[in-house]
Structure 1
Amino acid sequence: MPEGDTVWQTARLLHTALAGRTLVRSDLRVPRFATADLTGRTVLDVTPRGKHLLARIEGGLTLHSHLRMDGAWKVYAPRERWRGGAGHQIRAILGTAERTAVGYRLQVLELLRTSEEERVVGHLGPDLLGPGWDPATALRNLLADPARPLGEALIDQRNLAGVGNIFKSETCFLVRATPWLPIGELPAPERVVTAAKRLLEANRTRPGGSRTISVYGRASRPCPRCGAPIRTADQDDRPAYWCPRCQSGPTH
């Protein structure tokens, strides 16, 4: 599933292509909104909120999308061939005279009033890459259930928004704790908020797929810190990765 840095990059791509421009093409290929017509309206901005994308459109409308596991937005120039996926995978088309944005495999796509955005993102904790980032609230949310495993607490978007399975493992590595350590037992727990913020900030401007990774997806390979073989196990039906020598705490 795309994480906060990827969603931030996608929002920037869409904002650059669409913001301040009038739509000359609009096609929402989901039954509920198939008859909606946004042509003639100006795109005001495209904003990320955790893993959600909010495209605000003239007239008090917001197009809300979520990439989930394999969704993607691609932007094309006039006459450029669309290569983001098969035609039946297209869920949304927003076109201006200069660019066309195409949404593929979007499992969440809905048109709502901008005044109702809190209905779809109001449950989220502070956004690690958002202008309203609040580390104190994020830490308070994480510590509300001190017995909860650190990895599970990190990917709960109600605590802080933007961390997925990759940055869960990477954050745990930075604070030298296994993903199964109860968060209330983590010394100086504010470190985990700082580490998660630093990771997403460092990766949000990197091209997709070029993250610097220490443990995620590196099972049996040497730890970059101590050389011990990285281990992996499922946590809440998702893989977790850790160094058995550098990281302290229970191992599932």
Structure 2
Amino acid sequence: MGDAPAVEPVVGEPAAVADLGDERALLVADVHAGIEVGLRYERGVELDSRADERRERLVDLIAETGADRLVVLGDLAHRIGAPDGDEREELETLIRAVTDRVPMTLVEGNHDAGVAAAFADELDVIGAGGRVLDGDVGVVHGHTWPDPVLLDADVVCTGHEHPQVRLEDAVGGSRVERAWLRGELDPAAFTEDGADGVGDARDADPPELVVFPAFNERSGGTWVNVEGQSFLAPYLPAALPQADAYLLDGTRLGDYRRI
């Protein structure tokens, strides 16, 4: 994905590493801990919990990448509101497993108001507007308009969208896979005020925008290469006038609109 990108995906995983100055960070988006509880409550769907697998995969990735910090780009939790019952138990166990090893930062997503309050002592919480971290890496969830200060970053990482691509084979079959989207950000489309919120310097040298796949494979997503598909983030797809899609294994699919 280019020469020495500031944010480097971990091959085969919905995760990336980034240099944050003195720290090497592991970044993931949309963990949706407790999703099985939510699906049971919301839709009456009964699924075996994968809580242990999610936690173990995160802990293993921290070790494998030599990360000094975990940054979750929003939606650490699945259900909106204060977590309780099995969901709270999963969150407590996951957060403890991570923070016993490295500090944990949560960029507040639309599902995270309750978890951010419940675990404020254990987490470094970044508000919904996002923040530019050391190393000029901007982080935001993506459910609301971001703080224009993110345009000062070299690269902006966002979640919320859960990008997926629908791929067809030669005999008419199809499959859906999680994907990354990467491309130069259009500053005017990224800010709520449009061109009025963009300075000349920002417009001349815009950051790269990286849309993360969901860490949780059960959380569904946006089929980005299907015509007429509605996006979730208020700045997408307009803020990515040209972007390539990549599979988790690193395969470059090219312009996501033409896959």
Q: Does the pair score TM above 0.5?
A: no
Greater C-alpha Rg: 1
TM-score by length of 1: 0.29
| TM-score, normalised relative to structure 2 | 0.29
User: Would you tell me which structure has more strand in proportion to its own residues?
Assistant: 2
